[in-house]
Amino acid sequence: MEFDVIHSYTRKQALEDGVLVDLNRFEVCRHHYKHPIACTDTVWAIIEQSVRNKKHCNDYQGILHDMLWMSRVCRRVIDASTVIFTVIITGAGRGRNHEFKMVCGPDDDGAPCLTIMLPNED
């Protein structure tokens, strides 16, 4: 049985639209994972808020290092492609503990890529 595609939304389009933020421009990402990494705009908003809060002296490389490190060492495996992990990020609101989900899936060409999102996002 063959089905016609009604609508598709590629990873490339999501990156161009700002729905996903490409994290590969940060060197620290290449130190932790060999696959391309992006995050959702909601995760990026948490990171940006923390960096903009000068009281806590955060920077992008430091926050991303903490996130990627915790995704490897203190994670709860949901299935073969999904993990949940918690990171302490100060200056991004009232709470310090932020829970994230990382999913490994195919990019537009079928190669593996990673996406960091909030647990309730798909």
Residue 5 pLDDT exceeds 80: no
This prediction's pTM: 0.91
Q: Phi/psi class of residue 115: alpha, beta or left (left: φ > 0; alpha: ψ in -120 to 50)? A: beta
Give the end-to-end CA distance of the chain in Å, rounded to a whole number: 27
Residue 28 pLDDT exceeds 90: yes
The kind and range of the H/E element at 100 are strand 97-106
Ranges of each domain in the chain: 19-117
Please report the pLDDT score of residue 10 as a whole number: 92
Please report the pLDDT score of residue 93 as a whole number: 83
pLDDT tens-digit profile of 29-62? 999 999 999 999 999 999 999 999 999 999 999 9
Distance CA 3, CA 15 (A): 27
Structure tokens at 40: 């959702």
Strand-by-strand arrangement of the 20-22 sheet: 20-22, 37-40, 112-117, 97-106, 82-88, 75-79
